[in-house]
Chains A and B, each alone.
Chain A
């Protein structure tokens, strides 16, 4: 089955840029979706189809996908961005949905 690999943690100072990666075999050929999960809350979709944002998600949040790595980028990081972030794809070969292991973003 398809595997998505994320770093367990990323730390960044306020005002800086955070980059969270999601690795997978030829992931650039798939559509990647990203979720933000704050402590004690349900996940919220923040990026879909590699780089599109749902309404209400700030332009500071963006996504890209190429080769074997997809990346979620958050610029001008704020304390409120501290959360766990998960990438997700649909595996067409098996018709199943796959999540990455999640990355905890800490704002220093």
Chain B
């Protein structure tokens, strides 16, 4: 069935270090992979996304890579800052009987220590 696994569940880094979060998906037909950042008590906000026709996308300190063969994608944050502390969710897009939906990973709680 539809499933997205996300690792690690928690990640603690020192300010300035890099952070990497990994996700795997089950349906090879999935073709869109967004990443959301959720600060405490707030709504999830899209930070970057990638479609299946590219292997990598970068936006300043954030990058996402996609390996369609292995069915996994990763979020890379470089030069982390305390304001990067949040829960990060990956997601994979599925077509389901004419409906479109995102299947989310369980989330990664990132803590960046000054």
Q: Do A and B come from one complex?
A: no
A residues sitting closer than 8 Å to B (CB atoms) are none
